[in-house]
Structure 1
Amino acid sequence: MIKRRPVVAVVDDDPRVLESLEDLLESAGYVARSFPSAGPLLAGGLSGVDLLITDIGMPGTNGLELRDLVRKARPDLPVFLITGRHEIADQGRVQGVSGFFRKPFDVKRLLAAVGDALRNRDSGR
């Protein structure tokens, strides 16, 4: 039996970030699906997505709003938030919210967190 590669959706309005995250995730063995905003991700549905990485500061539906929408539709789906605004990430950590990453993020830490979240999710089924 061939095991399916986990699918990680990335939502960011910065094409450079989308491209670098897509390359990083693909090189780590994941299938990366990139979206420039929340709309196309939500329109396509969340089925088949194993983890979501989203920027917080985006026009339209921001990353925090997207996280809340995703939690209603798929409460089991791990969501990581990325931001260039350090005070937001620091405040999130102080409040005990995991899954906040500041840009530029530590690649090894991000990949370790993605792997941990997917393993924890799979073992929780």
Structure 2
Amino acid sequence: MTRAKATIAVVDDDAGMLESLEDLLESSGYETIAFSSARALLAAGLRPFDLVIADIGMPAMDGFELRDIALEERPDLPIFLVTGRHELAERGRSRGIDLVFRKPFDAPTLLAAIGHALRSTDRGDDHAAE
């Protein structure tokens, strides 16, 4: 069974960034659910999501830690990391993480990457039929 829209979790401790990303994604046809912390996303569960976009620099649990935990549970889950700090973007790339976007990011580039990731993983619809 295929859902009409892919569902994207957006995780950022900056309310303004959360709202901006939600607006961008929803205007592009995606369903979004926002979380103000990595722990809040993990408490809600990863199962319903087709993709995660998370800020790297968050208190308590940063985006790198969230990514590592999420990939243990859902190795197929595309996870994009965003940051406003150059050194964190470089740290991600040095760890072999391709999907790191620096703020302010180019919206068309981000949307194209999301579309590609969702097509590559068949939108994660294997769990939508359950």
TM-score (norm 2): 0.88
Q: Could you tell me how far apart the structure 1 residues matched to 2:97 and 2:64 are?
A: 12
Q: Could you tell me how far apart the structure 1 residues matched to 2:69 and 2:97 are?
A: 17
- Residue 66 of structure 1: aligned partner: 66
- CA apart distance, 1:95: 5.6
- Residue 41 of structure 1: aligned partner: 41
Q: Could you tell me how far apart the structure 2 residues matched to 1:3 and 1:49 are?
A: 12
Deviation beyond 2 Å, 4+ runs, structure 1: 1-4, 90-97
Write out per-residue CA displacement over residues 28-66 of structure 1, whole angstroms, 9 at most, x where no aligned residue.
000011000012111111111000000000001110000
Letter paired with 1:53: I
Aligned pairs, number: 125
- Residue 22 of structure 1: aligned partner: 22
- Choose between structure 1 and 2 for higher RCO, CA contacts under 8 A separated by at least 6 residues: 2
Q: State, as a whole percentage, how many aligned pairs show the same letter.
A: 58
Q: Could you tell me how far apart the structure 2 residues matched to 1:19 and 1:84 are?
A: 16
Q: Could you tell me how far apart the structure 1 residues matched to 2:60 and 2:46 are?
A: 19
Contact 2:57 2:83 in 1 (8 A): yes
- Residue 120 of structure 1: aligned partner: 120
Q: Could you tell me how far apart the structure 2 residues matched to 1:46 and 1:98 are?
A: 21
Contact 2:12 2:36 in 1 (8 A): yes
Q: Could you tell me how far apart the structure 2 residues matched to 1:108 and 1:62 are?
A: 26
- Residues 104, 29 of structure 1: alpha-carbon distance in 2 compared, 3 angstrom cutoff: same
